[in-house]
Structure 1
Amino acid sequence: MSRLLKILAFLTIGSVVAFFPLRWLIERSSPPPDNLGMVDGRFAPCPDSPNCVSTQATTELHGIEPIAYDGDTSTAYAKILAILEADDSITVISQTSTYIHAEARSGLWKFIDDVEFQFNDAESIIQFRSASRLGYSDLDANRQRMENIRNAFMASP
Structure 2
Amino acid sequence: MKFKFIFYIIFMTLLANSKGNPELEMKLAACPQSPNCVSSQATDKDHFIAPFKISGKTEDAWKALKQALAGQSRTLITQETGNTLHAEAASLVFRFVDDIDVVIDHNAKLIHIRSASRTGYSDFGVNRRRMEALRSKLQQAHVID
TM-score (norm 1): 0.73
Aligned residues: 120
Shift of 1:69: 1.0
* Unaligned ranges ≥5, structure 2: 1-22
CA distance in 2, matches of 1:69, 1:146: 15
User: Larger RCO: Structure 1 or Structure 2 (Cα < 8 Å, ≥ 6 residues apart)?
Assistant: 2
What percentage of residue pairs aligned between the two structures are identical?
37
Q: Does 1:60 align with 2:45?
A: yes
Q: CA deviation at 1:60?
A: 1.0
Q: Which runs of 5+ in 1 are unaligned?
A: 1-37
> How far off its partner does 1:40 sit?
5.3
Match of 2:62 in 1: 77
In 2, Cα distance between equivalents of 1:145 and 1:93: 17
In 2: Cα distance, 1:132 partner to 1:39 partner? 23
CA gap 1:40/1:103 in 2 versus in 1, 3 angstroms:
closer
- Structure number with larger C-alpha Rg: 1
2:74 pairs with 1:89 = yes
Q: Deviations over 1:108-153 (max 9, x none)?
A: 1110000011011111110010000000000010000000000010
Separation in structure 2 between the aligned mates of residue 93 and residue 40 of structure 1, nearest angstrom: 17
Match of 1:49 in 2: 34
TM-score using structure 2 length: 0.79
CA RMSD in angstroms comes to: 1.3
